[in-house]
Amino acid sequence: MPSVSEAATPNIVLILADDLGFTDIQPFASEISTPSLAALAENGVRFTNHHVAASCAPTRAMLLTGVDSHLNGVPNIPEAMPPSQLGRNGYDGVLSHQVQTVATLLRDRGYHTYVSGKWHLGKDPSRLPNQRGFERSVILAESGADNWSQRPYLPMYRTANWYKDDQPHQLPEEFYSSEYIVDQAIEQIDSQHGDGQAFFSYLAFQAVHIPVQAPAEYRAMYEAQYQQGWSALRQQRYRAAVAAGLVSSSTTLLEMDSTDDWDALTEDEQRDWARRMAVYAGMVQAMDHHIGRLVEYLKSIGEYDNTVFVFMSDNGPEPADPVGQFGLPFVLWMKAMGYNTDYETLGEPDSYVVIGSSFASAAASPLSYYKYYAGEGGLRVPMIIAGAGVELRGQLSSALTHVTDIVPTLLELSGASMPSAQYRQPTGKSLLPLLLGRDDRVRQEHETLGYELGGNAALFKGDYKLVKNLPPAGDGHWHLYNIVDDPGESLDLAASLPERFTEMQADYEDYVQRNGVLPVPDGYEQLRQVSRNSIMARKAEWMSALLVLFVLVYIGVRWRRKRAGA
């Protein structure tokens, strides 16, 4: 591959998985077969200490702007934002006009700019991709959707809103999300190939966001893989991650309180959960297969050698189970939408699959926590950067990196300029010195990296992390960990390192003031707020449904009384 000096304007392919855990792909010690990503890893660098937000839209906003989520308009997903925050101090839940996207900056540099897949940064006309620097786009506006048809996945949505450029878009009858997203990316690139301009292609997969779905042939590859359960899988991946050098050999594996006892399940329950995880693995492998199709296409048109690839996940694995969370109303909604949880067809069209908090803990292994929380399992995700401009091959980097670092890196690789002074500037750092082998870290010991989302908070400084996780999975207290020696966050150092603990608390308060972080209401819980917002979003419809139910019950009672009287 050419060096950065030989390829001043490389093509850029930015690939974002959804809710993918730290050890969910082959180059990160997974049992799931992902040969396409493994090939990219061999041609680049695997980042083992890379951090994002613990929820999708804040990560996506930072990925495209390089600006902290509290300054780019998306400090939380709008679906989970409490009314006391919404609209205050930049808490809009949609991408601010005070920031520029990397697509805009690359387009100014002369790039073609494309996006296909999940957007989730606003769907009013001024916030669709065609107004945020993307020349061509085919996107899903919401936080997720069915992978087999144009159907919503939560009751708060009336439909799954797809857009092609600035117009509503109807999906074809034959549709599977990972395949379609890559088809669109290839069509976009091909439509203008040969005109001498480089391209930026952003692919945002729905894999493996709920509902977890995969073609039966991919699920079948893993039918026997997960019969021993989630704790065994968490242990297996822990050992593999240590052996691969992804984490320190001193890492301690914690058992999450939210992990159920596998042996206490019935045989049928074990069989059902094992197949759910098989669907999840199949969905990961299906995504990898379609990434491979894109790579082969780029090779066929002679663009592969001049393309830099960035692959990462938007946050840790999803623990939520809407049936358990919302109960009977969600079950009734599923039935009305045509969803089912039938064992025989799990993952196939009309199936609604989740892996729950127990398998989510395994997907994040050897880390603790998962999506929504500020533990490493929620924030630390796999990342690979490979291809043009990357001097290192097949190597690991344990440098502390952050999603805001991607924009500065791509701008330096491409020769594009930073945003003009009227816009907020990226807060991340270029990773190019790491990619060229000129340095082994991007942040000095004294530099801090702050984080907050939904009241769960963290501050990184050197090898240490100050962190607070709210209930139900957390205890609401601050803890201090050395995440280089102890990425599993097993040994709290707050008492043994009181000066560092106090210093980092002051650093976090400084982050709060500089970024306008608002407190969450007492008792706030992200998933519960999604439930409340879902009810409020469709309050009139729920009330109408309850009224109809009441009338039907009333008529039934009257009819029975009449029959009894007769």
Q: What is the per-residue pLDDT across 381-434, written as a single tens digit (0 to 9) for each?
A: 999 999 998 999 999 999 999 999 999 999 999 999 999 999 999 999 999 999
Q: 9-25: per-residue pLDDT in tens?
A: 999 999 999 999 999 99
pLDDT bracket for residue 325 (50, 70, 90): confident
439 contacts 398 by C-beta, under 8 angstroms: no
C-alpha 80: how far from chain center: 15
Give me the residue label for tokens 């908070």: 457
pLDDT bracket for residue 1 (50, 70, 90): very low
Query: Looking at residues 133-150, what average pLDDT do you find?
Result: 97
Quickly count: other Cβ atoms within 10 Å of residue 192's Cβ.
14
Residue 120 annotated among the catalytic residues of the structure: yes
**121: its two tokens:** 């940064």
b vs e for 422-454, b when ≥16 Cβ sit within 10 Å of the residue's Cβ? ebbebbbbbbbbbbeeeeebbbeeeebbbbbbb
Query: In whole numbers, what is the pLDDT of the chain averaged over residues?
Result: 94
What is the pLDDT, as a whole number, of residue 379?
98
Residue 70 annotated among the catalytic residues of the structure: no
Determine the Cα–Cα distance for residues 193 and 304; give it in Å rounded to an integer. Answer: 13
Angle at 92 between CA 101 and CA 411, to 5 degrees: 15
What 3-state DSSP class applies to 186?
helix
Whether 119 has a pLDDT exceeding 90, the answer reads yes
| Better-predicted residue by pLDDT, 528 or 46 | 46
Characterise 225 by phi-psi region: left (phi > 0), alpha (psi -120 to 50), beta (else): alpha
Listed residue (512, 154, 553) closest to 339, CA to CA: 154
What is the pLDDT, as a whole number, of residue 7?
47
What is the pLDDT, as a whole number, of residue 73?
96
Determine the Cα–Cα distance for residues 418 and 105; give it in Å rounded to an integer. Answer: 7
Strands in 175-223 per DSSP E: 199-204
For 290, what's the count of Cα atoms within 13 Å in the CB-facing half-sphere?
Answer: 26
What is the pLDDT, as a whole number, of residue 561?
72
Query: Looking at residues 103-125, what average pLDDT do you find?
Result: 97
C-alpha 290: how far from chain center: 18
Query: Looking at residues 531-548, what average pLDDT do you find?
Result: 62
251 contacts 235 by C-beta, under 8 angstroms: no
Give me the residue label for tokens 């729950």: 356
What is the pLDDT, as a whole number, of residue 15?
98
Whether 259 has a pLDDT exceeding 90, the answer reads yes
What is the pLDDT, as a whole number, of residue 548?
57
Q: 476-503: per-residue pLDDT in tens?
A: 999 999 999 999 999 999 999 999 999 9
- The one-character DSSP state at 482 is E
Helix, strand, coil share (%) of the chain residues, nearest 5: 40, 15, 50
Quickly count: other Cβ atoms within 10 Å of residue 127's Cβ.
18
Determine the Cα–Cα distance for residues 163 and 168; give it in Å rounded to an integer. Answer: 4
Q: Give the type of residue at 42.
A: E
What is the pLDDT, as a whole number, of residue 4?
37
Decide: residue 550, CB within 10 A, 0-12 exposed, 13-18 middle, 19+ buried.
exposed
Residues 6+ apart with CB under 8 A from 228: 262
Whether 180 has a pLDDT exceeding 90, the answer reads yes
Beta-bridge partners for 311: 15, 384
Whether 545 has a pLDDT exceeding 80, the answer reads no
The active-site residue out of 50, 51, 56, 479 is: 56
Determine the Cα–Cα distance for residues 57 and 142; give it in Å rounded to an integer. Answer: 10
Determine the Cα–Cα distance for residues 449 and 367; give it in Å rounded to an integer. Answer: 19
33 contacts 248 by C-beta, under 8 angstroms: no
What is the pLDDT, as a whole number, of residue 2?
38
Query: Nearest 5°: phi and psi at 113?
Result: -130, 125
- Length, in residues, of the chain: 566
Listed residue (544, 545, 530) closest to 157, CA to CA: 530
Q: How far apart are the first and last CA of the chain?
A: 89
Least confident of 19-28, 234-243, 341-350, 531-540: 531-540
The active-site residue out of 120, 290, 402, 479 is: 120
